[in-house]
Amino acid sequence: MKRSILLIAALALVTAGYGQTPAAATPPGPSVAVTTNDVKNVDTPSAADRLKGDPGGALTGTVADVAVGDAKKGLTIADALNQVGQNKVAINFMWTLITGFLVMFMQAGFAVVETGLCRAKNANHTMMMNFMVYGVGMLAYWLIGFSIQMGGVGGVANLGGTPPLNTEYAITLFGKSFGLFGQHGIFLTQGGTYDVGVMVIFLFQMVFMDTALTIVTGSAAERWKYAAFLLSSFVLGAFTYPLFGNWAWGGGWLATLGTNFGLGKGYCDFAGSGVVHSVGGLSALALAIIVGPRIGKYTRQGKPNAIVGHDIVIVLTGCFILAFGWFGFNPGSTLGASGNGNLRIGSIAVNTMLAGMTGSFGAMFYMWMRYGKPDASMSGNGLLAGLVAITAPSGFVNTVGACIIGLIAGVLVCLSVEFVDRILKVDDPVGAISVHGTNGIWGVISVGLFADGKSNYGGSWNGVNGSVTGLFYGDASQLVAQLLGVATLVGVVFTMTFVVNLAIDAVVGQRVGAKAELEGLDLPEMGQLGYPEFELKARTVGA
Amino acid sequence: MVFAGIAVTVLGFVISLLSLSMASSVTARLIIVLLGIAVSLFGILGMINSAYLKNAIWRKQS
């Protein structure tokens, strides 16, 4: 044993000492002014060469491909610079759109995770909620939500400036301006928002918003009335989510806590542990309280019964889909890959995968030690908890911080599930409150602890010069800004969702009848079974 | 009880928000914000949820 340790230590020393010897730094060359004449003299592949094809790729993408503004003048330095600017924005457009497409695919992951964790008799209903929440949320966000959230964000330099998003409604409080909601962007036409950059940011923000909405369907699954789900999701996508999104990301009052009150760099939530996951998780808590536990979940003495899901295979498949989509969620939140420190996308992607890994380990080992088996669904929830927690700090922490954050999240989700289930007696079939609510809040707080002050996105964050730095690296005020975000989530976002859903409960009712619930919601609510042949077979054998 | 819980939940947020004007030191603000969060959590878990638990469906099961 001792010999093995010595061997490993020796290998580590060799690797550290010789494996990564840095190359000698090249001294910077003298600066040279480039003129239009220089541009004109660049060699161009001849037409004859191009006709032969370009198997090696050396003749494609040269000066001949730079657009010329005035054919009479030929290629000028202005043409070359315009092409550089366009290329930068094009790279950022592509990055933001493709990562947005990845985030959109997370809807599929959520759908199968939630459906797998529910019983087969509710499969169609659960899938339909996850399917239609995409459309309902998008409609609400296009109509009004995007305008409220991003209508006053100001310039997004990575995407070409987005100048039309420039009108924020603000009040004065404590002698400072408190931005409350944006006013440009209704229907993506009002206020000059028929703009290519605005379209890109709309798509990216829309899929984030839909992620928050789909979290809620999990906690209220197996007893939520479909009509109530549609109404509740619409209001969440149109108003509740966009309001907090504005305060955190749209230039609202939480983002300006740094400039207005000297609290670090203001509330920092890189990719949405708070904006997306806590909003979704706290809304899930509000809904689960209002609809109440499923029939049979608790005995008359209040002792919880385990109601197991019907397909652990699709649950874990869904977790992998979500982990894949998270590479869009976090690295995509730079809103670009070129300029303004955006090359940090590599670090963000690695932080994301590491935190997911430690999260799954944390949950698996906790369950193994406590209950004697490495629980599959909780291991999946541990992975998701790690990913949720790293979402806010992913852009600001190093890999060690990411691993610690994920590990804590993995254990925390198990403790939280037990607390919600046994102490609060709130029935959450998929663990949405713990995965997204509890760990979303943990993610927000962890920024204030673990941000290492090494990130630099264009020299400032939320209008405050310097890098985001947490308590462990010397700035306690950042933690206060983060906690103010938590206070807003718990005190305002929860309340808004709760009151809205209380009103919906009074008007249309939130919960299905007992008969429908016992029968399964597929037929009473959707008119079609999720697994008709499976059901037929079960009846045939009398099970 | 539910509406009182809502009021206490919002009160917690107001306490946290007031830290911005009541104190200037980081430590004082930190304490006030934490107090506000605790009040909000009490409103949600201790009042709103408790009110719903009194009429929970499992208490009525035969």
Contacts with B, A 221-280, CB within 8 Å: 257, 261, 263
Q: Are strands A464-465 and A460-461 parallel, antiparallel or unpaired?
A: antiparallel
Q: How confident is the model at residue A13 (pLDDT cuts 50, 70, 90)?
A: very low
Q: Please state, in angstroms and rounded to a whole number, the distance separating the CA atoms of residues A137 and A165.
A: 21
Q: Please state, in angstroms and rounded to a whole number, the distance separating the CA atoms of residues A197 and A186.
A: 15
Q: How confident is the model at residue A12 (pLDDT cuts 50, 70, 90)?
A: very low
> How many CB atoms within 10 Å of residue A1?
5
Q: How confident is the model at residue A361 (pLDDT cuts 50, 70, 90)?
A: very high
Closest chain A CA to residue B41: A490
Digit-coded pLDDT (tens) for A95-121: 999 999 999 999 999 999 999 999 999
Place of tokens 């985030």: A103
Contacts of B49 in chain A (CB under 8 A): 289, 424, 426
Closest chain B CA to residue A492: B10
Answer yes or no: is pLDDT of A349 > 80. Answer: yes
DSSP result, A192-257: TT--HHHHHHHHHHHHHHHHHHHHHHHHTTTTB-HHHHHHHHHHIIIIIHHHHHHHHHSS-TTTTH
Domain ranges of chain B: 2-60
Low-confidence ranges of chain B (pLDDT < 50): none
* B59–A300 CB contact, under 8 Å: yes
- Test mutation, B22, B44, B47, B60, chain A, max A CBs within 10 A: B44
Amino acid A535: pLDDT: 55
Structural domains of chain A, ranges and CATH numbers in brackets: 85-526 (1.10.3430.10)
* Biggest distance spanned by C-alpha atoms of chain A: 88
Q: Residues A7-26: what's their mean pLDDT?
A: 46
Please report, to the nearest 10 degrees, the dihedral formed by the alpha carbons of residues A376, A382, A388, A389 taken in order: 180
- Test mutation, B3, B16, B54, chain A, max A CBs within 10 A: B16
Contacts of A261 in chain B (CB under 8 A): 20
Answer yes or no: is pLDDT of A172 > 50. Answer: yes
Q: Residues A425-430: what's their mean pLDDT?
A: 97
Q: Please state, in angstroms and rounded to a whole number, the distance separating the CA atoms of residues A429 and A331.
A: 30
Angle between helices A376-391 and A312-329 (to 10 degrees): 10
The DSSP element (H or E) to which A173 belongs, if any, is: strand A168-173
A112's tokens? 């199968």
Contacts of B27 in chain A (CB under 8 A): 476
Q: Residues A218-246: what's their mean pLDDT?
A: 97
Answer yes or no: is pLDDT of A15 > 70. Answer: no
Q: Please state, in angstroms and rounded to a whole number, the distance separating the CA atoms of residues A532 and A526.
A: 13
What's the whole-number average pLDDT of chain A? Answer: 92
Beta bridge partners of A156: A161
Across the interface, of A425, A483, A495, the residue whose CB is closest to B37 is A483
ipTM over 0.95: yes
Which DSSP state fits A144? I
Amino acid A475: pLDDT: 96
> How many CB atoms within 10 Å of residue A429?
24
Place of tokens 């400039």: A259
> How many CB atoms within 10 Å of residue A202?
24
Digit-coded pLDDT (tens) for A311-340: 999 999 999 999 999 999 999 999 999 988
Please give the single-letter amino acid code of residue A405: I
Q: Please state, in angstroms and rounded to a whole number, the distance separating the CA atoms of residues A331 and A329.
A: 6
* A490–B13 CB contact, under 8 Å: yes
